[in-house]
Amino acid sequence: MDLKLSGKKALIVGGSRGIGKAIARQLALEGVDCTICSRNESSLKNAADELAKETNRSIYPIVADTNDPDSILNLVEKSAAEMGSIDILINSGARVGGHEPEEFNSIKDELILKDFEEKYLGYFRCIRAVAPYMIQNNWGRIINISGLAARIGGNYFSSGPRNASVVHMTKSASLELGKHEITVNAVYPGIVDTETFRGRVTNEEAIRQAASMNALGRLITPEEIAYVVTFLSSPLAASITGDVISVTGGIGNTVYY
């Protein structure tokens, strides 16, 4: 299937590793020039060099901090200048849940505030900064990487609310931007076999338990997330907007992410 993506320009926020890097790779393989960003300059440059060599596309690394509004504006301006425009925005730069306590009696206010600034405000600021370029082109695709904790109750008193807020923002932005042929969607990853997951879960039994939590009985790969995001980024997905797509392998009532 020709996704009709060749020649498009994408900004992948959080594109130096994990899901973001897999998305950048898949978009580039479909003929998209990409800008990737992260806070770490050395890992970002290494990722850009690797992706450019693998895909034969232009990959532009720009250091940015999504907690800083001025850094986001600089990122978007530089990205548009390097690539000529921005057709696709992937919001994937946020903390992965599970590193710090989120239980009712132990969660810190500072974590909740930090999470909302990084994920909700960070994503929103990126959308607002990129929107004028898409409006000028009368076309655009925005995909927000949310998290399944948005749909799960329990001791996720920061991960759950911040991801739910991303879903509301996704729907609201789709209503605001739809008249410009800009679609806005979100993706729920399940338990994804990323560097972060492997760095946090090293016990083989724990990995098997995590894999058994979905219907497929295995971990989801970053590439499987990337395939879905790449389709949503394409002209062929024109009628999908304001929606959330779960890519979880059929996970049950408990979630690790």
For 215-238, letters b (16+ CB in 10 Å) and e give eeeebbebebbbebbbbbbbeebe
Q: Which residues pair with 188 in a beta bridge?
A: 246
Query: Rounded to whole angstroms, how far apart are CA atoms 198 and 66?
Result: 25
pLDDT tens by residue, 1-59:
899 999 999 999 999 999 999 999 999 999 999 999 999 999 999 999 999 999 999 99
pLDDT tens by residue, 164-220:
999 999 999 999 999 999 999 999 998 898 888 888 888 899 999 988 989 999 999
Angle at 15 between CA 210 and CA 67, to 5 degrees: 95
Reported as type and span, the H/E element at residue 200 is helix 195-200
HSE toward the beta carbon, residue 2, CA cutoff 13 A = 3
pLDDT tens by residue, 133-153:
999 999 999 999 998 888 777
Per the confidence metrics, is the pTM higher than 0.85? yes
